[in-house]
Structure 1
Amino acid sequence: MQGQITLSKKERHYQFLYLILMLLAALIFLGIIFLKGFESPFSDEDIISIRNLEEKTKFDQEQKFTYKLMDSTFSQINRLTDQPPQPFTENNIMNGINDVANQLANDNTTDIRKDAFPQIAKFYKMYFDDKKIISSKTENIKSFQKQFEECSIGFKEKKNQLFQRETALKSRTQ
């Protein structure tokens, strides 16, 4: 007969601690082996943050130039009256709108503020088109008023001629 080996309560606690320590040692050992070549995502964090700051300062400098361009383009559009724009002025405005739209189009910055420039250019284009529509409608209204005045004068002359004919016919019949 074989005798069973029984462990005391104290020995069981030591055995449990021994197994836990062996598990932790195995995890550390395997972690070192498998994660040795793994690059930490936190190691480049400083470099990435410095690059982002550089991009933001570069963007801010380019944005200062773009503000001047946007302000001049908007003031040119806003100065338009109900007269049709001169071709030179229209060309300057369209160049300004295109410059605003393409200001940061080829830039590889990750700043989402660069997406605002094409939207601003679309607004300027719509505003300029509205100003041109207003000028063309004002031109049409002026030409219609002129035609109306000419027609009114012609109508009054015809009315006077008819009145003179009627009075001449009445004077002959009497």
Structure 2
Amino acid sequence: MQGQITLSKKERHYQFLYLILMLVVAIIFLGIIFLKGFESPFSDEDIISVQNLEEKAKFDQKQKYSFKTLDSTFSMINRLTDEPPQPFVENNIIYGINDVVNYFQNGDNITDIRKDAYPQIAKFYKMYFNDKKIISSKTENIKSFKKQFDECSIGFKEKRSQLFQRETALKSRTQ
């Protein structure tokens, strides 16, 4: 028959601490073995931030040159009145809108998300230009209708005076 070996309370504490220490050593040892080949995600952080700053600087530099196109296109659209636009002005506006759309799509490797605003700006310019053209066509229609109304009212007055003259001539005959 075998006897049970009992440990004192102090020995059990030491055994527990020994097992915990062995577990920590094993985790560190296995971590070093398995994670030795992996790259740290923080090692390229400085390089990525420098690249982002360079991208922003490239975008800002290119954006400076786009202001002239943006401003001139908007001012051409804004100057339109309720008269139909002249063909050369209309062509200049369309070319300006196309320049705004294609400003950052010509092969520059700029990854700044602000460049996505340029097609949206061009859409706004196109809508604004179409609205101005609609206003001019409606104004032309209104002027045409007023002219037709004036001609009709003149014709109506002439017909009325002719009828009045006929009626008075008929009344004078019958009397």
Same fold by TM-score greater than 0.5? yes
Which blocks of at least 5 consecutive residues in structure 1 are unaligned? none
- Which sits farther off after the overlay, 31-40 or 87-96? 87-96
Q: CA RMSD in A?
A: 2.4
Which blocks of at least 5 consecutive residues in structure 2 are unaligned? none
Structure 2 CA distance for partners of 1:83 and 1:6, relative to 1, 3 Å = same
Residue of structure 2 in register with 1:23 after alignment: 23
| Percent identity for Structure 1 against Structure 2 | 83
Q: Is the 8 A contact 2:58 2:110 kept in 1?
A: no
Deviations 1:3-62 (A, max 9, x none): 554444443333333322222221111111100101110001111111111111112222
The alpha-carbon deviation at position 115 of structure 1 amounts to 2.4
The alpha-carbon deviation at position 76 of structure 1 amounts to 0.7
- Which sits farther off after the overlay, 40-49 or 164-173? 164-173
Structure 1 counterpart SS, 2:104? coil
**Partners of 2:2 and 2:170 in 1: how far apart?**
157
Deviations 1:87-119 (A, max 9, x none): 111111112122222322455544332222222
Does residue 145 of structure 1 match 2:143?
no
**Partners of 1:173 and 1:18 in 2: how far apart?**
140
**Partners of 2:156 and 2:8 in 1: how far apart?**
129
1:65-84 pair list within 5 angstroms: 65-84=65-84
TM score, norm. by length of structure 1: 0.84
Structure 1 counterpart SS, 2:123? helix
- Which sits farther off after the overlay, 41-50 or 113-122? 113-122
- Which sits farther off after the overlay, 97-106 or 18-27? 97-106
Residue of structure 1 in register with 2:41 after alignment: 41
**Partners of 2:81 and 2:153 in 1: how far apart?**
29
Amino acid at match of 1:83: E
Size of the aligned set, in residue pairs, is 174
**Partners of 1:91 and 1:151 in 2: how far apart?**
38
**Partners of 1:150 and 1:5 in 2: how far apart?**
124
**Partners of 1:81 and 1:168 in 2: how far apart?**
53
**Partners of 1:134 and 1:76 in 2: how far apart?**
16
Does residue 119 of structure 1 match 2:120?
yes
Residue of structure 2 in register with 1:161 after alignment: 162
Structure 2 CA distance for partners of 1:170 and 1:7, relative to 1, 3 Å = closer
Residue of structure 1 in register with 2:132 after alignment: 131
- Which sits farther off after the overlay, 138-147 or 113-122? 113-122
Structure 2 CA distance for partners of 1:5 and 1:85, relative to 1, 3 Å = same
